[in-house]
Structure 1
Amino acid sequence: MKFRVERDVLAEAVTWVARGLPVRPAVPVLAGVLVEAGADGTLTLSAFDYEVSARVTVAAEVSEAGTALVLGRLLSDISRSLPADKPVDVATDGNKVSVTCGSSRFALLQMPAADYPTLPTQPTASGTIDGSTFAQAVAQVAIAADRGDTLPILTGVRVEIEGEKVTFLATDRYRLAMREFTWNPSDGDASHVALIPARTLAETARALGQGGSVAVALGQAAGGDGLVGFEAGQRHSTSRLLDGEYPKVSKIFPTTSETEAVVKTADLVEAVKRVALVAERNTPVRLRFSDGQVAIEAGAGDDAQASEAVEASVDGPEIEIAFNPGFLLDGLGALHMPYARLSFTQALKPAMLTGQSEVDGSPEVSYRYVLQPVRLTS
């Protein structure tokens, strides 16, 4: 195998493919990136850990077609450190792979490519989503997915497709996020429900949602397990789906409210960040909504204390409520709207957060974030 490729092209391709490589692979070859140089002048890089696969094809000057398997993270580190604006020459030499760029030269040990697993076949596309919409929607809901291992099913994002409507849903039992949007289905009567690992979905959305459109495909792997595929340009990835029945959490969304408050999102974010500086781990911040303002406090007794007031438009009875500051900031940061609307029923009932473009406008309910309050101790 022997080829020449632009340094930036190689670095970007290897970094993208290697981003999800396991730190402690079940078998050593899964730490590798498969490099395939084709006689047609293409270079394909692949990675697969039996759960997630990634593949990208770029143009290269191929002198000798061939295949090699090398440590993916090492190749990524090397390619990003090479001198800029110079071509990279890669060639196999016995059991080594040489990487040369200018006066820089590296020799990587080849891994047994014959032992590398075959990547799953990309399912037929079910439809396409605007890249920026896809990236934003995933980021808005993935923050609410569970990061622990106690309930693996909650580490996923539930994706429901009905015709042109797509609904993303995630919860970790303390907050719940839902985003609705439209896409372009291949079949107008399409109906799918899938549970995609949130971490994989978030990484994929960040990598593929930079522009253009993303093709999404739902199908099955060779063993019969559910499989989702994503494609944007020459980048392809697949992920096995989580198996199990997702809890029916939609009923948690409040349908009525006693008190509603509208506040500038940026002002509330900055105030909560400042007040939360004195909040010890797992200690909530307290918010008191009254006529014309929201007062934010943290700390009590002999502990450090902080307070701040932010102008707000409040409709309904005064209410005092406490939240985990990190969870509250996650929701506010995901709104991407100038104003935040907080809707309450009671101090210990879930509160709903939505965004709106104007202080007197209507809430944008395509994204809803529900947060469970923390019980205040006397």
Structure 2
Amino acid sequence: MNTTIYSIACTQLHSLMAGLKLATAKPNANLPVLEEVQLTVDGERVTGVATDRYRLFMDSREVALEQSPEEGEAATVFTLPASAADDFKRLGFSKSHERARVEVSADEVVVATASARLSYPPVGAEYPRVGALMVKALGAVAEGKAVEVPTQYNVDYLGDFAKVRRAAGIPTNTPLRMHQIPAGAGSFQLIVTFPGTDFWALLMGVRHPEGDANHSSAVEALERANETAKALASA
């Protein structure tokens, strides 16, 4: 059996899958592939992509090739179910100092440590070709076609709007709308509303200069994402 084996820090595998799980679809008999996270290995990075056809998330971590198959090329694209994030949490990956072995073959994907072995079946359906979508979106940023707002928001505050929706009995299919308004001196604020309700909120961002570390690292992250998207689109 041709098997490719990668190793990755347990903490890194858990954080990668836990973050991407948020963009996967709920169990759906008609579209089971959308319950999966697609993982692509390129050199020493593994990049995960997840989508539910409404959102598209991408993230990457360091990975090492431990074993190539005796015949043929190493398997560089595989999937894991979004529920694997829950398995990794249950097994304590988020606090482990171990490295996990990810064994990829035609029959299964196995994630193993010294004390655990998890086996996941391969998904036969073709994963949505999301690379082209990312190239278009990230390319617009790279070409200066998107508005760069040097403002940062607390992600916990953004997540609280889901709690507001549930507490207020707002239907789950009601979208969250964000309206950007000028706030003087080139800065912006966001007005948040749920259409059809009386709810609204003002997000007061914290301005930071373009030359600081936050701005520079954000630009670098977009550049890396754009290069990865191009590679996925041409795969």
- Common fold: TM-score over 0.5: yes
* Residues 267 and 234 of structure 1: CA distance in aligned 2, closer, same or farther (over 3 Å): closer
CA deviation vs aligned residue, 1:222-243 (integer Å, no higher than 9, x gap)? xxxx211111122112121111
1:213 paired to 2:111: no
Q: Is 1:183 aligned to residue 63 of structure 2?
A: yes
Equivalent position of 2:20 in the other structure: 141
- Percent identical among aligned pairs is 20
C-alpha distance after superposition, 1:92-131 (max 9, x if no partner): xxxxxxxxxxxxxxxxxxxxxxxxxxxxx9x967121011
Aligned pairs for 1:1-378 within 5 A = 126-147=5-26, 148-187=28-67, 190-199=74-83, 201-206=84-89, 207=91, 209=93, 210-211=95-96, 212-220=98-106, 226-253=107-134, 254=137, 255-257=139-141, 258-261=146-149, 262-266=151-155, 268-269=157-158, 272-273=161-162, 276=165, 277-278=167-168, 279-291=170-182, 292-300=188-196, 304-312=197-205, 360-363=215-218, 364-365=221-222
Whole-angstrom distance in 1 between the partners of 2:156 and 2:36 = 32
Q: Distance in 1 between matches of 2:4 and 2:101?
A: 6
Whether contact under 8 Å (2:46, 2:63) holds in the other structure is: yes
* Structure (1 or 2) with the larger CA radius of gyration: 1
- Which deviations, in whole Å up to 9, do the C-alpha atoms of 1:12-55 show, x marking residues without a partner? xxxxxxxxxxxxxxxxxxxxxxxxxxxxxxxxxxxxxxxxxxxx
8 Å contact kept, 1:165–1:180: yes
Q: CA deviation at 1:167?
A: 1.3
1:340-370 CA distance string (max 9 Å, x none): xxxxxxxxxxxxxxxxx965443134679xx
| Contact kept in structure 2, 1:161 and 1:190, CA below 8 Å | no
Separation (CA, whole Å) in 2 of partners of 1:239 and 1:271: 33
Task: Report the alpha carbon displacement of residue 162 of structure 1 after superposing the two structures with TM.
Answer: 2.7
- C-alpha contact (below 8 Å) 2:4/2:75 kept by paired residues: no
Contact 1:194 1:241 in 2 (8 A): yes
Residues matched between the structures, number: 197
**Matched residue type, 1:296:** V
Higher strand share: 1
**Higher normalized contact order (CA 8 Å, seq sep 6+, divided by chain length):** 2
Structure 1 gaps of 5+ residues are 1-120, 221-225, 315-338, 340-356, 369-378
Query: What is the CA deviation profile of residues 48-82 of structure 1, one whole-angstrom value per residue up to 9, with x for unaligned ones?
Result: xxxxxxxxxxxxxxxxxxxxxxxxxxxxxxxxxxx
Q: Match for 1:282: what amino acid? A: N
> What's the Cα RMSD here?
3.1
Structure 2 stretches of 5 or more lacking a match? 183-187, 227-235
Task: Sort the Cα spacing of 1:259 and 1:271 in 2 relative to 1 into closer, same or farther, 3 A.
Answer: farther
C-alpha contact (below 8 Å) 1:293/1:313 kept by paired residues: no
> Aligned letter for 1:236?
R
Secondary structure of the corresponding residue to residue 134 of structure 1: helix
**TM value normalised by structure 1:** 0.46
